[in-house]
Amino acid sequence: MVVSDSPNGGSTPPPPQQEQANKDRFTKPISIAGPTEADLNRNTELEKFLVDSGLYECNEEAASREEVLRRLDQIVKSWVKQLTRQRGYTDQMVEDANAVIFTFGSYRLGVHGPGVDIDTLCIGPSYVNREQDFFIILHNILAEMEEVTELQPVPDAHVPVMKFKFQGISIDLLYASISILVVPEDLDISDGSVLYDVDEQTVRSLNGCRVADQILKLVPNVEHFRTTLRCLKFWAKRRGVYSNVTGFLGGVNWAILVARVCQLYPNAIPSMLVSRFFRVYSQWRWPNPVMLCPIEENELHLPIWDPRRNHRDRYHLMPIITPAYPCMNSSYNVSTSTLRVMMEQFCYGNKICDEIELNKSQWSALFQPYVFFEAYKNYLQVDIIALDADDLLLWRGWVESRLRQLTLKIERDTSGMLQCHPYPHEYADTSKPCAHSAFFMGLQRKEGVRGQEGQQFDIRGTVDEFRREIIMYVYWKPGMEIYVSHVRRKQLPAFVFPDGYKRTRMPRHINHAAEKMGDDTTKCNSGSSSSERSVKRKKNPEMMDVKPDKPEKRISVSPQRLECVSPESCTSKLGGTPQMSIECIEGVRLDGSTTNDTDNNCEIKSSDGLSGSGTIIDVGDMQINETSFVDSTHDRLKSRALEVQNEVRSLLNQRENLPFGSCLVHVKFLN
């Protein structure tokens, strides 16, 4: 039934006329016009471009996927029969025992490409549980099979999942135990009865399949929907806005957005739908929700998205509501910063599509990669390190899932004045002797707000809070480390560039002509000249050893391993606790001081150190004051550093009694 207010705060069924009016409101099109000859020509060009871009899998790979799904179906059926027999059920029950495999996501929608994973759901009977039977018994069965590799159970995820490769094809397998003893082979998953007497994790597991099926039922032309969605997903990945975990949009979000445009233009072909997509969403007044059908209630009374009743729902910035009961906001991860980035990209897409319709541009222009490392003057670099590739896989997944929180915390602690652009792409420095991964976040002052002279964004406490949450990882192992650094654009590491080296930057007016709607998106108001700031920096004795053109000359020495400098170092030979370090780079001081950004009228503090003349770092019950290390005699300084190293090394032997990551000391050697 449709959600409706009642005097007592509950809900009452609307009359039939109102229900029909609500349906008409959601399905009434903007235009029923069909394609012109020019639209048909552009559509042919678009489809050719998608094929040439390699977005379709070959027949051999399609056949391999079908074979893998068939084998997986056999495995889960045998697994359920084995459990039924072990638990003493009758021979007839063993014979009738069954489990079925459903697909969802891009594979179910028919928009998957070569090499992508298959989202699958196993539905079993009520007596086969997730915790013991699925994540232990079925996991062990799969682990013993030669066809299965990279088996990774994730039982604590929001939607518990088992990840693995079967004959080289990536599989994400969920499990749902429904409240019946025998699962029929022709189970109708769209029937609401499958939701009776199940827990929230099961509801979320079932929801993926139910939403995918409902989307396909609600679009006027499935083939046009699939081509358009394939195109928009490709565009989103090229422009860096495809990532639900980072705070952008994932597969189901893009599918709902595209499906809504298909409803609004039911007779349009893909070339028209792509253009209308950007036209609609570049003007959409968020947080007005995008919905494919009315939000319905059910006698099960499961939680649904309803900002009138649910306080949290009122703060969702970009609501995209799933069409299957229970209807939920699929884009609750979106933040102020990521919404801003997506709206900029929608406007960019709308501009290019207008040029294509005027024959001033080609489809290839729409899919030009976003030049992220030319768009900002300041970045946060998050380096993730582990002993080996297997540990890095787990550690990186945890850190990546929490990066969205860092964006939210920076927005909160700077009152939205410092905007973030988390980039969902992962980078790795293969020259490091350890397993390494890195993510980057662009930083800029909020548009249209003039900052005060010398204004500072001190995000040291923000990063520390983020660190404390990260280190709570229950599967942490020695060698798992994370480093957060503030870097300027000219100090970006070479491994982020496609050719493995820093390219000569094009003039800004050329490089950003089509990239930004205006130069204000990256401009900070400057209150003093760069030459004046350069003079100030040269006169600062603490900055004499900082060489902006050589970022490798970072002075960041840990007493745990004086021979290794983070993040280039690998792991501690002493077996100490992992550390978080904000590197000493131009614009950021480890001792709590700051340097002016030559491009912006702002300063950024993102240091581990405390403010003041000397950095005091607590190590258990001991305090170490860095200023005590500074001596006129170089040999005496070295001797004192070695004494501190031995003291900290002794403390590390009792690291179970120390605060996690609290013993990182930065020593600066002065001549």
For residue range 204-260, list pLDDT tens digits in order.
Answer: 999 999 999 999 999 999 999 999 999 999 999 999 999 998 999 999 999 999 999
Query: What is the arithmetic mean of pLDDT over 175-195?
Result: 93
- Of the given ranges (112-126, 311-325, 548-562), which has the lowest mean pLDDT? 548-562
370 is catalytic: no
Which residue is catalytic, options 233, 377, 409, 605? 233
**What is the torsion angle, in degrees rounded to the nearest 10, for the CA atoms of residue 581, residue 586, residue 592 and residue 598?**
-140
**Which among 73, 117, 458, 464 is annotated as catalytic?**
117
Residue 106 annotated as binding site:
yes
Contact of 139 with 151, CB cutoff 8 Å: yes
- Please spell the DSSP secondary structure of 6-54, one letter per residue: -TTSS--PPPHHHHHHHHHHHH--S------HHHHHHHHHHHHHHHHTT
Q: CATH 3.30.70.590 region(s) of the chain? A: 372-491
Residue 385 among known ligand-binding residues: no
Q: Exposure of 341 by Cβ count < 10 A (0-12 exposed, 13-18 middle, 19+ buried)?
A: buried
Q: Which CATH class is domain 372-491?
A: alpha beta
Q: Is pLDDT of 379 > 50?
A: yes
DSSP conformation letters of 131-144: IIIIIIIIHHHHHT
In the chain, CATH 1.10.1410.10 covers: 29-55+221-365
Domain 29-55+221-365 coded CATH 2.40.128.20:
no
Which residue among 39, 119, 391, 608 is the active-site one?
119
Q: In angstroms, rounded to a whole number, what is the distance separating the alpha carbons of residues 476 and 148?
A: 25
Question: Chain-wide mean pLDDT for the chain?
Answer: 77
Residue 467 has pLDDT above 50, yes or no: yes
Q: 499 catalytic, yes or no?
A: no
- Given a cut of 50, is residue 303 above it in pLDDT? yes
What is the crossing angle of helices 222-238 and 270-281, to 10°?
60
Catalytic residue flag (residue 117): yes
Annotated catalytic residue within 175, 242, 325, 483:
242
Q: What CA–CA distance (Å, rounded) separates 380 from 588?
A: 11
Catalytic annotation present for 242: yes
Per DSSP, the chain holds a count of helices (H) and strands (E) of 18, 15
Q: How many CA atoms lie within 13 A of 634 on its CB side?
A: 3
Ligand-binding annotation for 631, yes or no, is no
Query: Terminal CA-to-CA distance of the chain, rounded, Å?
Result: 77
Dihedrals phi, psi of 270, to nearest 5 degrees: -55, -40
Lowest mean pLDDT among 29-43, 234-248, 427-441, 626-640: 626-640
pLDDT in the model for residue 561: 32
Rg (CA), the chain: 28
Is 118 a known ligand-binding residue? yes
The confidence band for 284, taking pLDDT boundaries of 50, 70 and 90, is: very high
Q: CATH classification of 59-213, choosing from 3.90.226.10, 3.30.70.1150, 1.10.357.10, 3.30.460.10?
A: 3.30.460.10
Q: pLDDT of 487-519, one tens digit each?
A: 999 999 999 998 665 655 544 433 444 444 444
Q: Tens digits of per-residue pLDDT, 512-554? A: 444 444 443 333 333 333 333 333 333 343 333 333 344 443 3
State the average pLDDT over residues 172-201.
93
Mean pLDDT over residues 464-490, rounded?
90
The band of 645, judged by pLDDT with boundaries at 50, 70 and 90, is low
Q: Report cis status (omega within 30 of 0) of the bond before 287.
A: yes
Of residues 128 and 468, the one with the higher pLDDT is 128
Task: For residue 343, give the amino acid letter.
Answer: M
Is 213 annotated to bind a ligand? Reply is no
Considering the chain, tell me which residue range(s) the CATH 3.30.460.10 domain(s) occupy.
Answer: 59-213
pLDDT over threshold 50, residue 12: no
pLDDT at position 639 is 53
pLDDT, residue 319, reads: 97
119 part of the active site: yes
Amino acid 498: pLDDT = 81
Asked if pLDDT for residue 99 goes beyond 90, the answer is: yes
Distance, C-alpha 648 to centroid of its chain: 37
Give yes or no: 91 in active site.
no
Query: pLDDT tens across 119-140, in order?
Result: 999 999 999 999 999 999 999 9
52 is in an annotated binding site: no
172 assigned binding-site residue: yes
Catalytic, out of 39, 133, 172, 213: 172
* Most confident among 316-325, 386-395, 399-408 (mean pLDDT): 316-325
What pLDDT, on the 0 to 100 scale, is given for residue 472?
87
Q: Residue 70 and residue 62: Cα distance in Å, rounded?
A: 13
Q: State which amino acid sits at residue 187.
A: L
pLDDT band at 584 (very low <50, low <70, confident <90, very high): very low
